[in-house]
A and B are shown apart, each in its own frame.
Chain A
Amino acid sequence: MRLAKSVKFREEKFGGVLFETRSEKVFTLNPTAAAVIREIQAGRPEHEIGPVLGKRFEGGEGVIEKEVGAFIATLRQQGLTDE
């Protein structure tokens, strides 16, 4: 999985922004969501992202992993990623 060609990511103090330039929509990301994008850009396989971030961010057991999965599903649904 990777970001779609029309999607640009920029880190910000609050996390980051995703700019989908075809629709000209801006998505504001908090630090965890921004971390997911960095992992995608780094080429980490999707199934590894949740566990890796689960160790890095606070949350109940399995909660971060679940949220990461939901976020990646949202990215996919919005057309922000290519397979």
Chain B
Amino acid sequence: MNDRSERAAGRPGASAPAASSDDLAAPLYVAWQITNECNLACLHCIEESGPGKAFHDELRDDEVFAVIDQLVDQDVPYLSFSGGEPMVHPQFFRMVEHACANGRQLKIETNGHYLDAKNCERLRELGVKAVQVSLDGASRPTFNRMRVLGEFDTVVEGTKNLRAAGVPIEINFSPTRFNIGEIGAAVDLAHELGAYSFYTGRTMYTGNAVKTWRIVAPSEEQYVEFFSILHAKADEYRGRMRVHFHEMGLLEELRYRLQHPAALLIVLPNGLVKLINALPFVCGDLRKQSLAQIWSSFRKAWHDPRVARFIEDLAVDPRGTSALHQWVYV
């Protein structure tokens, strides 16, 4: 999420300072991993999702809808449902309906394997703001190598179904050593498929990538070429498709976040709430606390010295991110 606030005009000669999360009454964005279950077992998955990988304590149906009600009551404008694969959640469409009917802007982040024509039409009818499809490559061999159990052609077909139904499309691309050379073609493919946004960045050393790093980690030389192509593609598609990419490394990003926390909560499938995906810190539990309480804890937690220490320790040993799933309560 790009949460760097911009100023808007107000009274004569005055301008509002950029709001920090400390100033806000509630989060602006809740990124909710609604299940850890997934039909794929991707080499780089930061959540270590896969078949049979649902948490044993994921939120029950009544708890899920109670959380959405709280998000509505607190006037959180923007939500995303991800996973795992969110579309395998048994209540997926009811959750989408409940969120959209109550005025939330909702983005679905999916691996694109359940986007048949009927589901795409339903997503349009329910009014989702966008569907973000993971399409890590411009060819079947690279995609299928990375997305274990996945099928490139199914994803392309599903994305075409989204377009036919009139659902706004975003494409997400995770670079690895063996697909990074396709970045230019992947951006072109995203545009051809009708995407309005393309997202990418650096692959994180966490989750499944810890075990597969030797296979997946791009070299710095590859990243240099990657970002060079992305700059060119951003220019090429300006005004037609937004090409977003995070060039800064994780440490730099986290140092920035420490000073400017995004008004963003990460909700895990079991209701625990994280400070940010790239840190192991948990600041609340939606089973035990209200969203308002957790928002208060979130703002305090960013000032906890353990958070700053963890980030600075990454400067010494970047492999600290391998422990992101060993949650630390702050």
- A residues with a Cβ closer than 8 A to B are 6, 8, 10, 12-15, 17-19, 21-34, 57-60, 63-64, 66-67, 70-71, 74-75
Contact between A27 and B5 (Cβ–Cβ < 8 Å)?
Answer: yes
Contact A21 B105 (CB under 8 A): yes
Report B27 CB to chain A, min CB distance, Å: 10
**A21 and B6 contacting across the interface, CB-CB below 8 Å:** no
* Bound-complex Cα distance A31 to B4 (A): 20
A8 CB contacts on chain B under 8 angstroms: 77-78, 105
Contact partner of A12 among B7, B24, B129, B130, CB < 8 A?
Answer: B24
Contact across chains for B77 and A30 when beta carbons are under 8 A apart: no
B19, A59: Cβ atoms closer than 8 Å:
no
Residues B77 and A60 in contact, CB atoms below 8 Å apart:
no
- Given A25-B6, A26-B6, A71-B9, are A14 and B15 neighbors across the interface (CB < 8 Å)? no
Q: Are B10 and A14 in contact (CB under 8 A)?
A: no
Nearest A residue to B104 via CB reads A8
Q: Which residues of B contact A31 (CB under 8 A)?
A: 10-11
Q: How far is the CB of B142 from chain A (nearest CB, A)?
A: 28
> What is the CA–CA distance of A34 and B77 in the complex, to the nearest angstrom?
16
Contacts of A32 in B (CB 8 A): 10-11, 14
Closest to B23 in A: A14
Chain B positions within 8 Å of A28 at CB level: 5-8, 16-19
Kindly state whether residue B75 has any CB partner on chain A within 8 Å. yes
Residue ID in chain A nearest B170 by CB atoms = A22
Q: Which of B10, B26, B77 contacts A29 (CB 8 A)?
A: B10
Q: Collect the chain B residues with CB atoms within 8 Å of residue A18's CB.
A: 8
13 interchain pairs, CB-CB under 8 A: A6-B129, A8-B105, A10-B26, A19-B105, A27-B6, A28-B6, A28-B19, A33-B16, A64-B12, A71-B8, A71-B9, A71-B10, A74-B9
State the main secondary structure of chain B at its contact with A. loop
Total B residues in contact with A, Cβ cutoff 8 Å: 36
Query: Footprint of A on B, CB under 8 Å?
Result: 1-12, 14-19, 23-26, 28-29, 75, 77-78, 105, 107, 129-130, 168, 196-197, 242, 263
Please indicate the chain B residues that have their CB under 8 angstroms from the CB of A34 in the complex: 10
The number of residue pairs between A and B whose CB atoms lie closer than 8 Å in the complex comes to 108
Residue of A nearest to B196 (CB): A22
Residues in B with CB closer than 8 Å to A33 are: 8-10, 16
Q: Are B19 and A17 in contact (CB under 8 A)?
A: yes
Q: Are B19 and A14 interface neighbours, CB within 8 A?
A: yes
Sample of 16 more A-B contacts, CB < 8 Å, known A17-B24, A19-B105, A67-B12: A10-B75, A14-B23, A21-B77, A23-B242, A24-B3, A27-B8, A29-B16, A30-B11, A30-B14, A30-B15, A33-B10, A60-B12, A63-B12, A67-B9, A71-B8, A74-B9
- Residue in chain B with minimal CB distance to A74: B9
Per the bound structure, the CA–CA distance linking A16 and B130 in Å amounts to: 24
In the bound complex, CA of A32 to CA of B9 (Å): 8
Bound together, the chains give a CA A57 to CA B9 distance in angstroms of 14
In the complex the two chains form, is A26's CB within 8 Å of B11's CB?
no
Residue from A10, A14, A66, A67 within 8 A of B16 (CB atoms): A14
Measured CB to CB, the closest approach of chain A to B181, in angstroms, equals 28
State in angstroms the CA–CA spacing of A24 and B199 once bound together.
12
Q: Which residues of B contact A12 (CB under 8 A)?
A: 19, 23-25
- A57 with B77, Cβ < 8 A, contacts A22-B196, A26-B6 known: no
Given the known inter-chain contacts A10-B77, A13-B23, A30-B16, please indicate yes or no for A57 contacting B8, CB distance below 8 A: no
- CB neighbours of A74 from chain B (8 A): 8-9
A79 to B2, CA, bound (A): 17
The chain B residue with its CB closest to the CB of A60 is B12
Give complex CA distance A22, B132 in Å. Answer: 12
Which 5 A-B pairs have CB atoms at the shortest separation, nearest pair first?
Answer: A30-B10, A8-B77, A30-B16, A32-B11, A33-B10
Write the nearest CB–CB distance from B196 to chain A, whole angstroms: 7
Chain A residues whose C-beta falls within 8 Å of the C-beta of B28 in the assembled complex: 10, 17, 19, 26
